Every structure is written in structure tokens, then in C-alpha cells.
């Protein structure tokens, strides 16, 4: 079968487009790998994680009356999720669990930072 000039041009254009797309993919992969490598230094930075069962406002007089065995009743139901903060930023919700003889938090929902 003999290719026409138009078919050859179309084939060349398709090849050029395919090469251009492959270059874009390679460039993206290289740039992604470089960004990940640059983040490696940050992966070792410690950050404080706070898990909040609940909060309560109390008067100073009430605090002064606390003693061993006193109860602080929180305005949070027993079945509600715990709140997980990274430093002071809300990060996730979770539920308490026990691993061997230690408390742990099972993450149930990650906060979408775009909604903050």
C-alpha cells in the first residue's frame, strides 16, 4: 500500500505529538521526584500531636476545689470522635482504642485543609 503525502504528514504529526506527551510525562516525573527528595529533610521534623477528648470552661474557684477523685464532666458524648490536632491545627477525627496496655487513636476521618 502506498502512503499519500497527507497520510505521511498525519503520521509524522501523530509521532511528534506522542513524543511531546512522553516528554511532558518524563518532565513531570523528574519534577515530582525532585520535589519528594527535597521533602526528605522535612520528614524528620518532629511535630506535637494533641488528642482532645473534650473541652470545658471552669471558674478558677472550681479548679481550686479539685482533688483526687474529682470529676470534670465534659460536654461530649461517649460515642463522639476524638479530635486530633497537629500543634494547634485541627487535623483529624478518631476513636480511642487499646493496643496491648497502651491507649491509641484510630484515625476515622482526615480533615480537608481547604475547608479550614
> Which parts of 40-114 fold into alpha helices (H)?
60-64
CATH code at position 103: 2.30.330.10
Number of domains composing the chain: 2
Any idea what DSSP says for residue 42? G
Report the predicted TM-score, pTM, of the whole model to 2 decimal places.
0.58
Q: Is 73 helix (H, G, I), strand (E, B) or coil?
A: coil
Q: How far is CA 12 from CA 8, 17, 20, 26, 102, in A?
A: 6, 9, 12, 21, 66
- pLDDT at position 34 is 84
pLDDT by residue for the chain (116 residues), tens only, comes to 566 766 666 677 777 888 888 888 888 888 888 887 888 878 889 999 999 998 889 999 999 999 999 999 888 887 889 999 999 899 999 999 999 999 999 999 999 877 65
User: Is there a single domain that holds both residue 37 and residue 50?
Assistant: no
Residues 50 and 92 sit within 8 Å (Cβ to Cβ): no
User: Is there a single domain that holds both residue 31 and residue 74?
Assistant: no
Its domain, for residue 23, covers 5-42
Q: How, if at all, do strands 49-52 and 89-99 pair?
A: unpaired
Any idea what DSSP says for residue 69? T
User: Is there a single domain that holds both residue 27 and residue 52?
Assistant: no
Phi, psi angles (nearest 5°) of residue 36: -65, -40
Q: How far apart are CA 78 and CA 76, in angstroms?
A: 7
User: Is there a single domain that holds both residue 75 and residue 30?
Assistant: no
Amino acid at each position: 500500500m502506498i502512503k499519500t503525502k497527507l497520510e505521511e504528514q498525519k503520521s509524522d504529526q501523530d509521532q511528534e505529538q506522542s513524543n511531546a506527551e512522553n516528554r511532558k510525562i518524563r518532565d513531570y516525573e523528574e519534577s515530582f521526584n525532585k520535589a519528594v527528595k527535597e521533602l526528605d529533610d522535612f520528614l524528620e521534623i518532629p511535630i506535637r500531636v494533641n488528642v482532645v477528648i473534650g473541652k470545658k470552661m471552669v471558674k478558677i474557684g472550681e479548679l481550686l476545689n479539685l482533688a483526687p477523685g474529682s470529676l470534670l464532666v465534659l460536654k461530649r458524648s461517649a460515642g463522639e470522635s476524638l479530635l486530633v490536632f497537629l500543634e494547634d491545627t485541627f487535623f483529624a477525627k478518631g476513636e480511642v482504642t487499646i493496643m496491648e496496655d497502651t491507649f491509641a487513636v484510630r484515625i476515622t476521618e482526615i480533615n480537608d485543609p481547604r475547608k479550614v
